[in-house]
Amino acid sequence: VALQQIAERSQGDDSTLTLIMLPRLDSMTTKGAWFGALESFGVTVKFDAIDRRNLPQWIAQRLQQQGQRVAGGEEGQRTLQFFADRVEGNLLAAHQEIQKLGLLYPITPAHADGILSFEQVENAVLNVARYDVFKLSEAVLGGQAARVARMLDGLQAEGESEVLVHWALSEDIRSMKRVKDAMAAGRPMPMALRENRVWGIKEKLFERVLPNIGDTTMANLLQAAHTVDGIVKGLKQPDWPVSGWQALHRLAGMMCAQCAVPTTAAGRR
């Protein structure tokens, strides 16, 4: 209501510029009266985030715009993946690192092809990645163990709260349990997901991993989440690390092990 009132009162007022930044909105939210008022009395600009899966290709396109490219084949893919790991979650810094490569290795008659080696990228590109807890959740559900470990280290270095990271991981475990219980009660998976407000990327991830998680595994994950809850709040638990971050690494690793789908199994499905 407050945003709607601000939008309506701004009509005809050229002395004040109000900038409203919002997270990604779903289609239902954009149909609300407050958002309609913002669109009617102002200008909306949508910027879609570049997700981790598409980041290497985005980097390659930006390099191409300044006449540079990586080597072909496996070496080039390795270079782009390394670059993406260094700048994930920080597109402004990624843009700056790309520009830096243009200054360090300019197109010259002796270097007309503009090909960048892995060593050149490794030596030039700084580690400027920024992670958020919700992207961590997607990586865990995707079974991306190496990326998850790197993200947890990054979140710790950035001073993120252990309690918040634990909440994100444990909430996914609880959501999976609620969906499985709903399915056991006879609801189809799509209905169970909607009832438990699992949308978008997580909906697809849940659809992939839930059939592979049995009741015993689910119970073990719930117990592990309960144990880590105590650790991040200062309690000691037998056979678990004393450090909250180490315990989070272990919990996330347990989840990744269950969410990673073997290639052969995926092929059969």
User: How does pLDDT run across 101-157, given as a tens digit for each residue?
Assistant: 999 999 888 788 899 999 999 999 988 888 888 889 999 999 999 999 999 999 999
Tens of pLDDT, residue by residue over 41-54, are: 888 888 777 888 89
- Rounded to two decimals, the pTM is 0.67
The rounded distance, in Å, linking the Cα atoms of 269 and 266 is: 5
Mean pLDDT of the chain: 89
% of the chain at pLDDT higher than 70: 96
Domain that holds residue 78: 52-124
| Average pLDDT of the residues in 5-17 | 74
Statement to judge: residues 156 and 227 lie in one domain: yes
Q: Is residue 34 part of a domain?
A: yes
- Do residues 223 and 145 share a domain? yes
Residue 161 and residue 57 share a domain: no
* Co-location of 140 and 250 in the same domain: yes
Residue 147 placed within a domain:
yes
Torsion on CA atoms 16, 19, 25, 27, rounded to nearest 10: 30
89, two tokens:
């979650």
Q: What are phi and psi of 69, to 5 degrees?
A: -160, 165
98 and 7 share one domain: no
Encoded tokens for 259: 């969410």
